[in-house]
Amino acid sequence: MLNRVTAYLKNGSMRHRGSETTEDGYRGIPADAATGVHEAVVDSLKEILPSGGRVADIGAGRGALSLRLADAGFEVVAFDLDNADWSVPDMQCYEVDVNTSAGLQAVASRGPYDAIVSVEVIEHLENPRQFLKSLLQLARQSAAPVVLSTPNPLDTFSAISFFRRGIFNWFSPAHYSGGGHISILPYWLINEHLMYLGIEADQIHWKFLAPWKAPRLLTRVIYRGIQAVHRIVTCHIVVDYTDGQTAIVVIKRRMNDS
């Protein structure tokens, strides 16, 4: 039965991320993220900041999320390591490396910010914990929330891929060399990093979205059966991570956070 599902793994039916273009985008700009991720990030920020605010978009890429945020009423300051692909003519994207103290200072100098977002970036970095530390430092003065996303290596589709091939979804050799996905980050590891950095568990809020959709009814039925077993096996886990290719975490800061 697994063959019907894993055939799609081998055929590459799912959209690639990283340096590759997706079908989804905003106002003609490719999103370079799974379906619904940018919308979910904007919705999360609107819940926290209903009146809008100043947002730093770290790793803004081509600018699809930055433009979507601006259209939603936020003042956006965009940053990326390389702005060569920036596609929003009326908005500037500043080149910075937030893994360096100079880059961090460059971002901070354009603040303060009411929120920090970084979508589909952390899996590309050699030192994810240092990056999280940098984001939290940027957010510290104003207790700004931090919102970031990364591929979810623990969903059922990825579990099948690992069972059959020893490879997590979105973290194949092709994604390593072609898409720059070099750091596999399950939600629990990000939790541990954040708690090591002084964030408490009740400040960390997870969403999992972009479930895999099989193109055929029989495949969907088989997949849902496998997923049910997956959920039973992992029933001791508080977070249900089985049905979403993308993990989004919202870190809500407190004014007295150090």
pLDDT single digits (tens) 110-157: 989 999 999 999 999 989 999 999 999 888 877 899 999 999 998 888
Strands 29-30 and 246-251: unpaired
Measure CA 63 to chain center.
15
Residue 174 to residue 203: CA distance in whole angstroms: 35
Residue with tokens 């991570």: 241
The angle formed by the CA atoms of residues 44, 47 and 51, to the nearest 5 degrees, is 120
CA-CA distances (angstroms) from residue 135 to 35, 108, 185? 25, 10, 17
107 confidence band (pLDDT: 50, 70, 90):
very high
Report how far residue 242's alpha carbon sits from residue 123's, in angstroms, rounded to the nearest whole number: 19
* pLDDT value of position 211: 64
Q: Encode pLDDT of 2-15 as tens digits.
A: 343 333 333 333 33
pLDDT of residue 7: 39
C-alpha closest to that of 207 among 190, 227, 223, 228: 190
Q: Give me the pLDDT at residue 239, please.
A: 65
Domain definitions of the chain by residue range: 15-152+168-212+243-251
Least confident span in 53-67, 92-106, 176-190: 92-106
Cβ atoms 79, 93 nearer than 8 A: yes
Of residues 40 and 226, more confidently modeled: 40
Of residues 99 and 198, the one with the higher pLDDT is 198
Q: What is the pLDDT of residues 23-62, one digit of tens each?
A: 478 988 998 888 889 999 999 999 999 999 999 999 999 9
163 class by beta-carbon count within 10 Å (0-12 exposed, 13-18 middle, 19+ buried)? exposed
Is pTM beyond 0.85? Reply is no
Q: Is the pLDDT of residue 233 over 80?
A: no
* Helix ranges restricted to H, the chain: 2-11, 37-48, 64-71, 101-108, 128-140, 156-165, 173-179, 187-196, 217-233
Residue type, 230: H
Angle at 57 between CA 52 and CA 62, to 5 degrees: 120
Q: Report, as an integer, the average pLDDT of 91-106.
A: 89
Mean pLDDT of 218-230: 73
Tens digits of residue pLDDT in 62-90: 999 999 999 999 999 999 999 999 999 99
Q: Specify the CATH number of the domain 15-152+168-212+243-251.
A: 3.40.50.150
Q: Is residue 243's pLDDT more than 80?
A: no
Q: What's the pLDDT at 258?
A: 52
Q: Which two tokens stand for residue 64?
A: 């699809």
Lowest-confidence range among 42-56, 98-112, 211-225? 211-225
Angle at 122 between CA 9 and CA 133, to 5 degrees: 155
Rounded average pLDDT over 181-205: 94
Question: What pLDDT score was predicted for residue 238?
Answer: 58
Return d(Cα 87, Cα 157) in angstroms, integer: 33
